[in-house]
Structure 1
Amino acid sequence: MLVLLPILATICALSVPLILGKPRYLAKIATTKNQTKKKPTISIIVPARNEGANIPGLLESLKPEWDSIHEAIIVDDASTDSTARLAVEGGALVLASKSLPDGWNGKPWACYQGARSATGDWLLFLDADVRLHRGAIEKLGHLINSGNTNTAYSLYPHHTVARPYEQLSAYFNALMVAGVSAFGYGTASGQNPALFGQTLLLTKSLYMENEGHAAVKDKVLENFHFAALLKSNGAHCACYLGKGLISMRMFPTGFNELWDSWKKGFVSGAAKVEKNTLILSSIWITAGMLSIVSLCFIGSSYAPQHYSFCVLIGYMSNALACAWAFRIAGTFSVLNALFFGVALIFYQTLFFKALIDKSSGKKTQWKGRMVD
């Protein structure tokens, strides 16, 4: 019976291609010709609370295609650092957020105010840690030129991993990509995807027709809830991977930022993932754990003949699955995939901590505010 552990680990690793086997990249969108006389305008909206470390880099990344942007609006959400000053110096319009109303979370409130003040035909919401590379606005323009004004486009910024502790995000980032159900097979094939929270593009009219962020004002992971709302009202969602054109550096300040960020709304986010995608993602996690457990019995008197070979097959199957998934999600090291047990145990530890805290009603502090 012991040999079943590595065999199941091998079989379960096949769940990864089912949820991430068909990645679609923004960079590969074909050029379209727009014959319309008036070119649609793009307003960029960035909710920013104490983002002084990120705003200069974001605005600098927009400069190569600045002429193609109608306006860049930084919504200063009661920052106590240099966010507003640096935004002005970078050429952006700064909108000082009004006091947070009861029942609203900070990010939806900032996004909503920015959208209401925007004068462009299309709204491009960006997180402050996102960077657009040369050609990104042009590719987004191809989406706009398709004429599909009833679709919200969401783009995953490739995660730039710079320091060793950031490698611990591997499973989280990969499962974030898988969680929108857009890059796999069957129900995970992108026919009915959710939205990413870092980058969202849609017309202002579609946004306002669906009440925008006012409809998801109290949600931590507002992207999942807004996607569900759009689809319930007859609109569509489409997701792409931004590798080569859009990137992000999520946790430059240290391990605590990484821990708190993933813990924030983590359990709630899992609950919003499409059922089959959630099952397949859980099978992938199970595959890794089975592979790790099977290693513990190598050399045991209970181990049958050829057990070590089966364990090797199971382990390498999971390492290859991780290499594929991690490569899609960010610039994670090959060693991270080879020693996937480290990132997996961290993932499991944080998941159960988040689950315990949520069940006990404990909240996480994020950017000076308490969130569920």
Structure 2
Amino acid sequence: MTALELINLAIGLLAVMIGIIIFWSLPVPVFSSGKSTGLPFLSIIIPARNEGGRLSPLLQSLQEQRFKQFEILVVDDHSTDNTVAIAESYGSKVLQNEGSGKSSACWRGAKHAKGSWLLFLDADTSFINQDGLKNLLHFYQGKGARGILSLQPYHTVNRLYEHLSVIFNIIVIVGMNVFTIWGSRFKTAGSFGPCILCNRDDYLLSGGHKKIEGEIMDDLALGQAFLDHNLPVHCLGGKGIISLRMYPEGLGSLIEGWCKSFAVGSKSTHPVIMLMVIFWVAGSFITTGALISSIIELNTPVIIFSGVLYILYTLQTAWFARRVGNFRRAVFPLYPLLFLFFTGVYVYSFFRVNVLRSVKWKGRKINV
């Protein structure tokens, strides 16, 4: 076994260990058996642009909730499909966005909200069971009902190409800085965007979505606005409470969606965490390369060691993935393709953000 082969194997083993360090845990809200009588009136605000094909599951899940003390405000962001008709068919109040973009729509909804608590939901989310909303509200109440409680919904995957999102899903969570072995040692990068719960007073104190209008990563910016006013930001996983299905329209939408946010969002990740993420991603390629090279050269000792590392990477990626979504285990023996897709889209996103200074999303060109 040559020195280079030993180095590659050592890097692969270290990368697996680093993976455990950066994604040590993903807490979820503890379910409460308490009654909902002590909870305040809630305003649910859903910004929507051309969400006619994705809005129904969310509104249906809200109708099925046992907790009923809420209003639903769907803020239409100049949709050209049947978004408004779908929202109205479920009895939601529909507002028209006065500006353009998600932050403007959320601010419009907040201004018309009657509730003392505000829940901002992406249109592609939905509650998993009839007590999901109540459990979410009780958990926030248990945290003192201050600041932000944000959940990253559990990713529901239906079609094969959607598995290409798995590494993005993992790194979105890792990139928040607070799920490492060190816990809260690093300050959170912000908040998750699909599900944000806060009280009205804290929201207005922070400046809300009005303050961050124009930001591409509105979720990270809103969380930072709260932190700037010494308000807590709690980030957790949504498994068992809320789910989402990302980019069901096809592969092009998936690439466009991740390209829009990833290069910008990665700037909020702590440099130490970012360095370890890069090492973990690089380790996936080094381990794969070592195995392929050893098979070509028929080097039995290296085949054994690199094969063990390949299996460890397969199991680790599958383990992480099951925390964030219902990804099928059968795809993970091909994990190098997942990492390769992630790397390609990230490079493309970096080019668009830092060279072209623009990204595209839902028919709009967004300057950055």
TM over 0.5: yes
For residue 280 of structure 2, give the secondary structure of its aligned residue in structure 1.
helix
Does structure 1 residue 264 correspond to structure 2 residue 260? yes
CA deviation digits over 1:134-171, x for unaligned, max 9? 21111112124326132210001101111111010010
State whether residues 187 and 276 of structure 1, in contact with CA within 8 Å, keep that contact through their aligned partners in structure 2: no
- Corresponding position of 2:338: 343
> Runs of 5+ in structure 1 lacking a partner?
101-105
How many equivalent residue pairs?
363
Q: Structure 1 residues 330 and 277, CA, compared in 2 at 3 Å: closer, same or farther?
A: same
Paired AA for residue 7 in structure 2 = L
Is 1:287 the equivalent of 2:283?
yes
Change in Cα spacing, 1:178 to 1:153, as seen in structure 2 (3 Å) is same
Q: Is 2:13–2:309's contact at 8 Å kept on the other side of the alignment?
A: yes
Which residue type is aligned with residue 11 of structure 2?
A: L
Deviation at 1:194, TM superposition (A): 2.6
Are 1:8 and 2:11 an aligned pair?
Answer: yes
**1:171-217 residue CA offsets vs partner (Å, 9 max, x unmatched):** 00111111222322215668646310110000011101111011111
Which of the numbers 214, 223, 234 marks the counterpart of 1:218?
Answer: 214
Residue 12 of structure 1 deviates from its aligned partner by 0.9
- Out of 232, 240, 248, the position equivalent to 1:252 is 248
2-structure distance, mates of 1:44, 1:99: 20
Q: CA deviation at 1:33?
A: 7.4
String of CA shifts for 1:51-82, please: whole Å, max 9, x gaps. 11112121001111165242010001111111
- Aligned partner of 1:55 in structure 2 is 55
Q: Secondary structure at the match of 1:175?
A: helix
**Amino acid of the structure 1 residue aligned with 2:118:** L
Give 1:291 shift. Answer: 1.1
Deviations 1:291-323 (A, max 9, x none): 12212311455x866111110121112112201
Which segment is superposed worse, 207-216 or 133-142? 133-142
**Partners of 1:123 and 1:204 within 8 A in 2:** yes
The TM-score normalised by the length of structure 2 is: 0.93
| Structure ranking higher on relative contact order (CA contacts 8 Å, 6+ apart) | 1
Q: 2:160 aligns with which of 135, 139, 164?
A: 164
Q: What letter is aligned with 1:132?
A: F
Q: How far does residue 362 in structure 1 lie from its aligned partner after superposition?
A: 4.7
Out of 113, 122, 146, which is 1:150 matched to? 146
Structure 2: how far apart are the matches of 1:336 and 1:342?
Answer: 10
Q: Deviations over 1:83-112 (max 9, x none)?
A: 111101111111111143xxxxx0100011
Q: List runs of 5+ in structure 2 lacking aligned partners.
A: none
Which residue does 1:234 correspond to in 2?
Answer: 230
Q: Distance in 1 between matches of 2:60 and 2:34?
A: 27
Q: 1:275 aligns with which of 271, 277, 294?
A: 271
- Show the counterpart of 2:103: 108
Report 1:38-187 matches (<5 A): 39-65=39-65, 67-100=67-100, 106-134=101-129, 135-146=131-142, 148-186=144-182
CA change 1:13–1:23 in 2 (3 A) is same
Greater CA drift, 66-75 or 256-265: 66-75
Which residue does 2:25 correspond to in 1?
22
The two structures have a TM-score, normalised by structure 1, of 0.92
Spell out the pairing of 1:318-357 with structure 2 (5 A cutoff).
318-357=313-352
C-alpha contact (below 8 Å) 1:183/1:189 kept by paired residues: no
Distance 1:255 1:247, change over 3 A: same
* Counterpart-to-counterpart distance in 2, 1:249 and 1:299: 39
Contact 1:32–1:145 (8 Å) recurs in 2: no
Matched residue of 2:294: which SS? coil
Matched-pair contact (CA < 8 Å) for 2:39–2:137: no
Q: 1:201 is paired with a residue of what secondary structure?
A: strand
Partners of 1:324 and 1:357 in 2: CA distance? 32
> Which secondary structure does the structure 2 equivalent of 1:265 belong to?
helix
Contact 1:18/1:188, CA 8 A, preserved across alignment = no
Q: CA deviation at 1:356?
A: 2.0
SS in 2 for 1:25: coil
TM-superposed CA distance for 1:351, in Å, is 1.1
8 Å CA contact retained: 1:194, 1:237: yes
RMSD value, Cα: 2.0
Amino acid at match of 1:60: Q
Give the share of equivalent positions with the same residue, in percent: 26
1:103 maps to none
Say which SS state the counterpart of residue 65 (structure 1) adopts: coil
Give the direction of change, closer, same or farther, for the CA distance of 1:189–1:142 in structure 2 (3 Å limit): farther
Alpha-carbon offset, residue 38 of structure 1: 5.7
- 2-structure distance, mates of 1:263, 1:209: 32
